[in-house]
């Protein structure tokens, strides 16, 4: 178009538009002119020739226009009429510049025409140029034209062949548009694209490609393929592999391939390479690259986070599971498998939850009902069982899983095994209960002891002074004494329960002790009961008070006897065992270590759960009034605790009972029991006794008994007073009989103080045992004789004589 405009600007002045016939026509006319035929024939012929030429011109598809040197139109063919909308008759003689040249080019056209005519120069003559033409209706359109000057009969004319190129322009425009669209598309893809020809030469690429590969513009502009390739290779982690691939693909133009490229700087590209085909021919290769670093990183991050969640799941100490609504486990973690004692996750996954997991299969359904609506399960305790059937208490927390419609499809739960904690709590609760009952009973028992001592001593004194004929009174007195003695034995049990009695610990071989006691125990049971003793070969020793063990055995054997009114088998057994952590977690008690178990089993009535829970409570009994006081097991419990042991009751209704006493095993050898007051003589004496006793009634009773036996008695109300009296009468005092707990100074301190004196008299303790005392010291020196309160006159008289007679 510009070119065309240029033609008219610079060359048009040289053009005189002339009506011209074509070169052929010109030639034809020449020939005609030169022919010297008949004039008429010539004329006729001339007209015919002109007509012929006219037709030839009109048959042309191009507009054929001629102008004379003035720029007037002298020829205008049919096609020109159609093209410009001017009739031949109308336009002939008109100036070209005022008809078909757009006004803006007219001036230049005129100039160009003039220039040619004066100089003979015309830049656009004799070649095809494009320019803009004007239709009669004022519309413009693109044309291609060729202009040639024709000299005819001394005049210059110009012939133009004009072709409407509107359509061509339109399709060119479309092509151009689609090409730029293609380019724009190429530029807007997410991929870097490189197109090479079959020889590997770069044909095209997009900006993205350059950016992704960080190829400087200068490198690509150089179109130096090797330089570009070296740029590419430098960045790769494994350039050799990439190069090999490139070679392989160039060797096989039809191959398609894909792989992942890793960069030294951590980026990751996906690479595709496809043959580029045109009309069924492979003309090159298209490489496309996509930066997937972020995607890879995201995938890697996801993988890492999944891995860490998986580890959390795998390593959790809590059990974790996912289950379906109908009670199938879908996922379980190793902790759950362990907790429930299964061999593998597969094994656990195969179970039916309600049937194999819940102790009460209906409980699962109840739970689901309860949590269906809320969907959140928080710290719900349920009773499950392990693979081996052992019960476990678990605490469940989690949520319900729902489908799109909101229906519950399953559950996701965390499981905590709280069996041990619950058992420990139960133990603690039990211990606290016992402790408070113990405090209560202990306080009362001590006061009772002194009362009973007074009653017993006085009853006996009265008895001794009664004339032989007062037999009725004597019987009443016996009644009184009997009752007081029963009271005393109850108090003793209460004190044992509250652990306020005095125990003297020494290594004891339990099996041997049980054997020694068999004679006594046998007398407790009727012939209908078979008494068996097992575990005689057990040589293990425990730290124990022999008397306490004896009392324990008496209690247990009595209970077993009472449980077998129809007879049965009563077994006493000693066995060594080791309590480990597992035992403790199963039972909720049991300091790990070696133990000796003393067990008493019967084949009697057994106990239900409710009874079992209360048996250690003082005064709990199921026996009819008068038959049982409910103190046997309370006392046993207290004694066992005092020995740092444990007591376990295994019992089911109608299935008999086994009571196991666990006492910590020691390595020391059993020692002979400390001296016991064994003298049977009830004779008095002339010696002087220092009686140290804070309770005035007890003191009075003792003084009366002893003086009656001929002894001289000096009394003191506490240790301080006793020391003072001793200092004054040291050489006279043969025996110090001292209570243990007294205000200011107790018996033990008195004993220690006296030991430091030049002369140590014989010494004997007597006590009602109190809590304070137990706190004050461990145990009394075992070598010192001990008289337990409440004592009877006989007890007192015998022990005093015995101690005085000791060498």
Q: Closest distance between Mg ion and the C-beta of residue 555, in Å?
A: 5
Closest CA to 409 of 452, 354, 372: 372
Euclidean distance between CA atoms 144 and 65, whole angstroms: 13
Q: Closest distance between ligand ATP and the C-beta of residue 661, in Å?
A: 13
What b/e sequence results for 91-102 when a residue is b if at least 16 CB atoms lie within 10 Å of its CB, and e otherwise?
Answer: beebbbbebbbb
Q: Closest distance between ligand ATP and the C-beta of residue 748, in Å?
A: 32
The site partner of 634 among Mg ion, ligand ATP, none (C-beta below 5 to 8 Å per kind) is ligand ATP
Q: Closest distance between Mg ion and the C-beta of residue 504, in Å?
A: 24
The site partner of 657 among Mg ion, ligand ATP, none (C-beta below 5 to 8 Å per kind) is ligand ATP
Phi and psi dihedrals of 759, rounded to 5? -125, 125
Euclidean distance between CA atoms 635 and 500, whole angstroms: 11
Residue 632, both tokens: 């046997």
Q: Closest distance between Mg ion and the C-beta of residue 725, in Å?
A: 45
Four-residue CA torsion sign, 305, 311, 316, 319: positive
The site partner of 631 among ligand ATP, Mg ion, none (C-beta below 5 to 8 Å per kind) is ligand ATP
The site partner of 607 among Mg ion, ligand ATP, none (C-beta below 5 to 8 Å per kind) is ligand ATP
CA distances from residue 653 to 389, 609, 610, 657 in whole angstroms, order as listed: 21, 9, 11, 9
CA distances from residue 473 to 468, 469, 476, 483, 705 in whole angstroms, order as listed: 10, 9, 5, 15, 20
Judge residue 763's burial from the number of C-beta atoms within 10 Å of its C-beta, 0-12 exposed, 13-18 middle, 19 or more buried.
Answer: buried
Between 159 and 559, whose beta carbon lies closer to ligand ATP?
Answer: 559
How many residues make up the chain in this entry?
Answer: 807
The site partner of 630 among Mg ion, ligand ATP, none (C-beta below 5 to 8 Å per kind) is ligand ATP
Q: Closest distance between ligand ATP and the C-beta of residue 806, in Å?
A: 36
Euclidean distance between CA atoms 744 and 733, whole angstroms: 22
* Helix, strand, coil abundance in the chain, percent, nearest 5: 45, 25, 30
Q: H-helix or E-strand containing 180?
A: helix 166-188
- Name the residue whose CB lies closest to Mg ion: 632
Between 605 and 799, whose beta carbon lies closer to ligand ATP?
Answer: 605
The site partner of 547 among ligand ATP, Mg ion, none (C-beta below 5 to 8 Å per kind) is none
The site partner of 62 among Mg ion, ligand ATP, none (C-beta below 5 to 8 Å per kind) is none
Between 610 and 759, whose beta carbon lies closer to ligand ATP?
Answer: 610
Virtual torsion, Cα 318, 321, 325, 328, nearest 10 deg: -120
The site partner of 453 among Mg ion, ligand ATP, none (C-beta below 5 to 8 Å per kind) is none
The site partner of 629 among Mg ion, ligand ATP, none (C-beta below 5 to 8 Å per kind) is ligand ATP
CA distances from residue 287 to 141, 227, 260 in whole angstroms, order as listed: 43, 17, 13
Between 559 and 766, whose beta carbon lies closer to Mg ion?
Answer: 559
Between 231 and 620, whose beta carbon lies closer to ligand ATP?
Answer: 620
Q: Closest distance between ligand ATP and the C-beta of residue 574, in Å?
A: 18
Between 509 and 555, whose beta carbon lies closer to Mg ion?
Answer: 555
The site partner of 160 among Mg ion, ligand ATP, none (C-beta below 5 to 8 Å per kind) is none
Q: Closest distance between Mg ion and the C-beta of residue 603, in Å?
A: 17
CA distances from residue 562 to 533, 637, 647 in whole angstroms, order as listed: 19, 19, 20
Find out whether 599 and 659 touch, Cβ atoms under 8 Å.
yes
Between 658 and 799, whose beta carbon lies closer to ligand ATP?
Answer: 658
- Name the residue whose CB lies closest to ligand ATP: 632
Q: Closest distance between ligand ATP and the C-beta of residue 634, in Å?
A: 6
Q: Closest distance between ligand ATP and the C-beta of residue 486, in Å?
A: 11
Q: Closest distance between ligand ATP and the C-beta of residue 781, in Å?
A: 32
Q: H-helix or E-strand containing 34?
A: helix 23-34
Closest CA to 382 of 361, 399, 402, 400: 361
Find out whether 631 and 619 touch, Cβ atoms under 8 Å.
yes
| Largest Cα–Cα separation, the chain | 212
Q: Closest distance between ligand ATP and the C-beta of residue 517, in Å?
A: 17
Between 11 and 551, whose beta carbon lies closer to ligand ATP?
Answer: 551
Task: Report the DSSP beta bridge partners of residue 690.
Answer: 714, 736
**Strand positions, DSSP E, 329-465:** 329-332, 376-385, 391-402, 408-417
Closest CA to 559 of 594, 517, 606, 514: 606
The site partner of 560 among Mg ion, ligand ATP, none (C-beta below 5 to 8 Å per kind) is ligand ATP
Give the binding site for Mg ion (CB under 5 A). Answer: 559, 632
Phi and psi dihedrals of 713, rounded to 5? -120, 125
Q: Tokens 């086994």, residue? A: 658
Between 632 and 747, whose beta carbon lies closer to ligand ATP?
Answer: 632
Q: Closest distance between Mg ion and the C-beta of residue 628, in Å?
A: 6
Between 463 and 630, whose beta carbon lies closer to Mg ion?
Answer: 630
Euclidean distance between CA atoms 183 and 190, whole angstroms: 14
The site partner of 788 among ligand ATP, Mg ion, none (C-beta below 5 to 8 Å per kind) is none
The site partner of 621 among ligand ATP, Mg ion, none (C-beta below 5 to 8 Å per kind) is ligand ATP
Between 359 and 431, whose beta carbon lies closer to ligand ATP?
Answer: 431
The site partner of 749 among Mg ion, ligand ATP, none (C-beta below 5 to 8 Å per kind) is none
Closest CA to 421 of 589, 645, 650: 589
Judge residue 767's burial from the number of C-beta atoms within 10 Å of its C-beta, 0-12 exposed, 13-18 middle, 19 or more buried.
Answer: buried
Closest CA to 615 of 598, 600, 628, 626: 628
Give the binding site for ligand ATP (CB under 6 A). Answer: 555, 559-560, 563, 602, 604-607, 611, 615, 620-623, 628-634, 657
Judge residue 327's burial from the number of C-beta atoms within 10 Å of its C-beta, 0-12 exposed, 13-18 middle, 19 or more buried.
Answer: buried
How many CA within 13 A on the CB side of residue 130?
A: 9
Closest CA to 477 of 459, 461, 489, 465: 459
The site partner of 792 among Mg ion, ligand ATP, none (C-beta below 5 to 8 Å per kind) is none
Q: Closest distance between ligand ATP and the C-beta of residue 459, in Å?
A: 24
Between 324 and 611, whose beta carbon lies closer to ligand ATP?
Answer: 611
Q: Closest distance between ligand ATP and the C-beta of residue 623, in Å?
A: 4
Between 459 and 495, whose beta carbon lies closer to ligand ATP?
Answer: 495
Between 215 and 634, whose beta carbon lies closer to ligand ATP?
Answer: 634
Between 632 and 746, whose beta carbon lies closer to Mg ion?
Answer: 632
């Amino acid at each position: 178009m510009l070119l065309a405009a240029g033609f008219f600007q610079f060359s048009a002045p040289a053009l005189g538009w002339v009506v011209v016939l074509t070169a052929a026509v010109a030639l034809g006319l020449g020939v005609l002119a030169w022919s010297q035929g008949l004039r008429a024939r010539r004329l006729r012929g001339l007209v015919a020739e002109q007509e012929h030429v006219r037709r030839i011109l009109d048959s042309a598809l191009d507009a054929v226009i001629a102008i004379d040197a003035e720029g007037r139109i002298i020829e205008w063919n049919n096609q020109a009429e159609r093209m410009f909308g001017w009739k031949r008759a109308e336009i002939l003689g008109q100036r070209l510049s005022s008809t078909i040249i757009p006004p803006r080019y007219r001036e230049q056209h005129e100039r160009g025409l003039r220039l040619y005519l004066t100089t003979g120069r015309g830049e656009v003559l004799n070649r095809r140029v494009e320019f803009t033409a004007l239709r009669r209706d004022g519309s413009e359109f693109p044309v291609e034209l060729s202009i040639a000057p024709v000299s005819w009969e001394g005049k210059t004319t110009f012939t133009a062949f004009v072709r409407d190129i509107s359509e061509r322009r339109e399709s060119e425009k479309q092509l151009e548009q689609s090409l730029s669209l293609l380019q724009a598309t190429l530029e807007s893809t997410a991929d870097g694209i490189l197109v090479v020809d079959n020889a590997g030469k770069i044909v095209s690429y997009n900006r993205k490609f350059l950016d992704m590969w960080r190829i400087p513009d200068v490198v690509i502009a150089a179109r130096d393929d090797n330089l570009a390739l070296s740029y590419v290779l430098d960045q790769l982690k494994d350039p050799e592999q990439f190069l090999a691939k490139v070679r392989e693909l160039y060797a096989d133009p039809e191959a398609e391939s894909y792989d992942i490229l890793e960069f030294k700087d951590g980026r990751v590209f996906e690479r595709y390479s496809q043959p580029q085909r045109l009309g069924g021919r492979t003309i090159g290769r298209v490489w496309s690259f996509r930066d997937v670093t972020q995607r890879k990183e995201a995938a890697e991050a996801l993988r890492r986070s999944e891995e860490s969640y998986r580890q959390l799941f795998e390593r959790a100490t809590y059990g974790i599971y996912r289950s379906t609504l109908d009670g199938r486990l879908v996922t379980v973690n190793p902790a759950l498998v362990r907790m429930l004692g299964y061999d593998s996750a597969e094994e656990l996954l195969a179970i039916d939850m309600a049937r194999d997991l819940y102790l009460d299969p209906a409980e699962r359904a109840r739970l689901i009902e309860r949590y269906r609506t809320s969907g959140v399960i928080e710290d719900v305790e349920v009773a499950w069982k392990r693979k081996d059937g052992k019960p476990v208490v678990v605490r469940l927390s989690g949520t319900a899983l729902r489908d799109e419609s909101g229906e519950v499809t399953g559950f996701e739960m965390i499981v905590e095994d709280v069996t041990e904690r619950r058992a420990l709590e139960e133990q603690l609760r039990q211990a606290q209960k016992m402790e408070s009952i113990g405090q209560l009973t202990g306080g009362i028992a001590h006061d009772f002891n002194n009362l009973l001592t007074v009653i017993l001593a006085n009853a006996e004194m009265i008895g001794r002074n009664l004339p032989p004929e007062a037999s009725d009174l004597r019987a009443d007195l016996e009644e009184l004494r009997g009752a007081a003695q029963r009271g005393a034995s109850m108090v003793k049990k209460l004190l044992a329960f509250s652990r306020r009695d005095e125990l003297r610990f020494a290594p004891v071989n339990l099996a041997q002790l049980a054997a020694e006691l068999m004679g006594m125990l046998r007398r407790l049971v009727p012939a209908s009961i078979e008494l068996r003793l097992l575990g005689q070969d057990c040589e293990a020793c425990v730290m124990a008070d022999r008397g306490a063990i004896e009392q324990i055995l008496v209690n247990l054997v009595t209970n077993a006897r009472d449980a077998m009114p129809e007879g049965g088998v009563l077994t006493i057994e000693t066995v060594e065992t080791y309590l480990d952590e597992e035992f403790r977690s199963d039972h909720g008690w049991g300091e790990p270590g070696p133990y000796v178990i003393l067990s008493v089993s019967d084949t009697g009535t057994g106990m239900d759960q409710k009874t079992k829970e209360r048996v250690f409570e003082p005064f709990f009994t199921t026996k009819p009034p008068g038959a049982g006081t409910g103190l046997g097991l309370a006392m046993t419990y207290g004694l066992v605790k005092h020995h740092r042991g444990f007591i376990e009751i295994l019992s089911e209704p109608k299935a008999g009972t086994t009571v196991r006493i666990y006492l910590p095993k020691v390595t020391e050898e059993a020692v002979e029991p400390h001296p016991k007051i064994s003298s049977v003589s009830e004779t008095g004496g002339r010696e002087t006794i220092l009686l140290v006793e804070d309770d005035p009634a007890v003191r009075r009773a003792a003084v009366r008994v002893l003086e009656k036996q001929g002894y001289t008695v000096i009394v003191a109300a506490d240790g301080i007073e006793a020391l003072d009296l001793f200092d004054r009468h040291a050489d006279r005092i043969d025996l110090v009989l001292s209570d243990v707990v007294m205000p200011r100074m107790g018996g033990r301190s008195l004993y220690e103080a006296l030991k430091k004196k030049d002369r140590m008299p014989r010494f004997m303790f007597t006590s009602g045992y109190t809590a304070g005392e137990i706190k004050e010291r461990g145990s009394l020196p075992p070598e010192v004789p001990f008289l337990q309160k409440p004592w009877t006159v006989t007890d007192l008289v015998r022990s005093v004589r015995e101690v005085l007679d000791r060498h």
